[in-house]
Structure formats: structure tokens, C-alpha cells
Amino acid sequence: MLNETPTLAPDGLPYRLITLRNNAGMVVTLMDWGATLLSARVRMSDGCVRETLLGCASPEQYITQNAYLGASVGRYANRIAKSSFELDGVRYALLPSQGENQLHGGPEGFDKRRWRIVQQNDAEAIFALDSIDGDQGFPGNLSASAHFRLTEDNRIAIEYSASVDKPCPVNLTNHAYFNLDGDQSDVRHHTLQLLADTYLPVDEMGIPQEGLKSVAGTSFDFRDAKVIAQDFLSDDHQRKVKGYDHAFLLQAQGDVTQPAAHLWSQDKKLQMTVYTSTPALQFYSGNYLAGTPAREHGEYSDWQGLALESELLPDSPNHPEWPQPDCVLRPGQTWRSLTEYQFIAH
């Protein structure tokens, strides 16, 4: 027999996987490369187990996919227009990663790094990462941590924190894609309630071109739960980006005890509720998932998974006027965000 040599990560070392478990039968798998959520399996009311996260069949496939599946992204999640911003009178040029714009922290963002495992047990894992001055164009040395917990009431709690030695915009998030039906089906059959009064229109590249708009009377009104397909591609704001890929300013305003969103599987047997301390959620309906390696069968197709990314509004470094906390972290301060995804089987 041939000895199968494990595939190594780009830094020449093995990938390290961590498994979290609770007494409710939920099992969550994490990887140190990109501080990535690989899998979240929920025990259903009938005793069956349902996978809720999109993922690849093996760790090395995460290196080649460009959908940021389950990864921790930073220093700045979402987009910064023209890969540039001004801070304290100085103009900073960032490394672009989507056309002329920077997406999710640059071409070598935090999703493409090995995070150190600081602590791990059945209930939690803590990862840490250091980012040097000038990394992807950002100023200052930054230290980040990612703390994943699995609670007994089936919450995946993700707390990011960061500190800097020079002022710098910071906006870390996790880019998990959910499909609560547990298969490679169309997530537009899911039902979504997004508790937000305003959303941010964007151009074809996902860059905000105008201010926040009321969701009232638009296809972006999810204040009452509705099937995602109901108003899908029904207006120009969606058609520009092949569906929903927009930030919503939440009613909860950073109150982590108030729900930000509820999501239901097509069969209504599984619900997910999102809580977050961040001001906004980016709802992305998986418009460009086609070709991404899939865990079970070949490749994903468009709209087979959706993301509800907790974060600041996109391009915030260039829009200090927006009604949210300042995106700039300064020395002596600690940046924190807490997001919880709770799974409820019916």
C-alpha cells in the first residue's frame, strides 16, 4: 500500500482541525488556516443530523476557492472603494483584490493566513493572528483574535477582537455560507426576516454610490418574514449584482440581545437566529458561487448558500457621515465584535 502523505498548507505545515461539541448533539468543525468554520451539524427533532454550512471536501480545496467559505476576513471586511482612504490627513493606498477596489482585506487577507491556536476544548477555540505595519497597505501593527464558542443552546458565538499601534480602520467578520436544508439546494426557497429599516444601494462592483435608503416599498424590505425568491431580481439595485449583496443597517443597533435576523429552511424544520453587536449585516444570496468546490457533489451553483455577514457598512473609511460607530481603531483601544448564530430545530 502507498502511504498517503497529508496535503500541506501553503506554509508547508499540516492544516489543524478542531471539533467543538455540545450535549444537544451539535458538532462544529474549525480550521486554523483562515480561522475557518468548516462545518456546523445540527441534530434535528427526528434525531437526524443536518449540515448547515457550505464547505469543501478537504482542507486544501479551501486554498483554491475564492468564495471565502467560512473564513475569518480582515483587516477590513467587504469593500473599500478604489483601494484608498484618508485618515488623519494621510492618504493610504491599499492592495486591490477586486478590480480597482479592495475586498475582504486584500489579495493576502486574514483568510489566507495560518492563525495560532491559543486555546481549545470541546466548547471553544481561540485563534490569534499578527498583522505587520503595511500589511496589504494598512497602517500599523495589528493583533487580532478570533474566539469561537459552541453553547448548549446551539449557538455558534464568534467574538473578534483587535488592537493596533497606529490608527487603522478595522472590520473583521466571518464569511460563513448557510443552507439550512442541508443539501445543495437553492437557498432562495429559504424564508428570511431581516430586522432593518434601511439598506445601502451599490454599483455593479458592490461600491456604495448613494446614501442609505429606506427598505419600505422595496424588494429589500424583510422586516416581515418572506421567501427570498419572492422579490428576487425584481429591481435594478439587485440586478446590478445578480441578486442580494447589500448591507442592512440593523434595528438592534449593536444590542446583541436583540435578534438581527431569522432564517428558516424550506421545510421549516430548522431556524437560525442571528444576534450581533455590529451595526450592519451584509446579506449575500450567493450570486457568484458557481464553480466553488462542494463538500458532497462536485461544485456549488449560484444561490446554493447565503451569507449574513456581521460588520460595519462597506467603504466606511470613506464615509464617516454614516450613522454607525467609527470604523477607525486607535492605539490604546480594543475593537470587539460578537455575533451569535443560534440553530433551533422544530
List active site positions: 175, 309
Q: Helical H runs in 17-142? A: 61-64
CB burial of residue 243 (10 Å; 0-12, 13-18, 19+): buried
Maximum C-alpha span of the chain: 65
Q: Helical H runs in the chain? A: 61-64, 236-239
Q: Helical H runs in 209-314? A: 236-239
- One-letter amino acid at 180 equals L
Alpha-carbon gap, residue 168 to 170, rounded angstroms:
6
Q: Helical H runs in 114-222? A: none
**Beta bridge mates, 310:** 281
Alpha-carbon gap, residue 29 to 35, rounded angstroms:
11
DSSP state for residue 171 in the 8-state scheme: B
- Which of these, 162, 310, 170, 338, lies nearest to 247 by C-alpha position? 310
- Three-state SS at 200: strand
Q: What is the residue whose three cell numbers read 426557497?
A: 189
Please confirm whether the linkage preceding 79 is cis (ω < 30° from 0): no
Chain-centre distance for alpha carbon 180: 16
- Three-state SS at 336: strand
| Number of alpha carbons in the 13 Å side-chain half-sphere of residue 23 | 2
Alpha-carbon gap, residue 194 to 199, rounded angstroms:
11
**Beta bridge mates, 241:** none
CB burial of residue 31 (10 Å; 0-12, 13-18, 19+): buried
